[in-house]
Amino acid sequence: MNRILLALFLLLVTLGSCSKEAPKPLSKEEMQECIDSLTCARIKEVDELARIDMEYRMKIEMKVRVDSMVQAILQQKTDTTLPADTTHNPQP
pLDDT digit string, tens, across residues 29-87: 999 998 998 899 899 999 999 999 999 998 888 888 888 889 999 888 887 765 555 55
- Domain contains 84: no
Domain that holds residue 56: 29-79
- Domain contains 4: no
- The length of the chain is 92
- Domain contains 24: no
Distance of alpha carbon 82 from alpha carbon 76, whole angstroms: 10
Tell me, what's the pLDDT at 87? 59
Query: Which pLDDT band, with edges at 50, 70 and 90, does 4 fall under?
Result: confident
How many angstroms separate the Cα of 62 from the Cα of each of 19, 33, 41, 48? Answer: 66, 42, 31, 21
Tell me, what's the pLDDT at 12? 83
Q: Which amino acid is at 64?
A: V
Query: Are 34 and 26 a contacting pair, CB within 8 Å?
Result: yes
Number of domains in the chain: 1
- Domain contains 38: yes
What is the number of alpha carbons within 13 Å of residue 30 lying toward its C-beta?
4
- Domain contains 65: yes
Average pLDDT over residues 19-25: 73
- Domain contains 88: no
pTM > 0.85: no
- Domain contains 19: no
